[in-house]
Amino acid sequence: MRRPQGTGRRPQGSAKEDKLGEKQMERQAEDRAIGESLTDEAVFSLSEEDDARFREAVQIGIEQAERGEFIEEEEMDARVARMLRGKE
């Protein structure tokens, strides 16, 4: 028995429709590439800012230590515990 024509096949679009589909896919690919680039740039920027803050904090700590400004171990333990609770 012969299969009715067109059954089980995807309808073919016109050349114009195919061209529009290709352009849309190209545009979506470009949009994705731009989004990925912006994401990478934001992460790198945050990393530089975090690095700068960390280095500044370390320098402040070094200067305090050089002046003999220390805190007791119990106070440091309490500060670390507060910092860790804040990240949960």
Determine the pLDDT at residue 47.
Answer: 77
d(C-alpha 43, C-alpha 49), whole Å: 10
Q: Residues 37-54, buried b or exposed e (16+ Cβ, 10 A)?
A: eeeeeeeeeeeeeeeeee
Q: Which two tokens stand for residue 63?
A: 């200067």
DSSP 56-68: HHHHHHHHHHHTT
Determine the pLDDT at residue 41.
Answer: 76
Domain assignment present for residue 57? The answer is: yes
Determine the pLDDT at residue 11.
Answer: 56
Determine the pLDDT at residue 4.
Answer: 54
The tens digit of pLDDT for each residue in 51-87 reads 888 889 989 999 999 999 988 999 999 999 998 988 6
Structural domain total, the chain: 1
Determine the pLDDT at residue 68.
Answer: 92
Domain assignment present for residue 10? The answer is: no
Domain assignment present for residue 54? The answer is: yes
Place of tokens 């309490």: 78
What domain range includes position 59? 15-86
Name which residue leads in pLDDT, 67 or 15: 67
Domain assignment present for residue 77? The answer is: yes
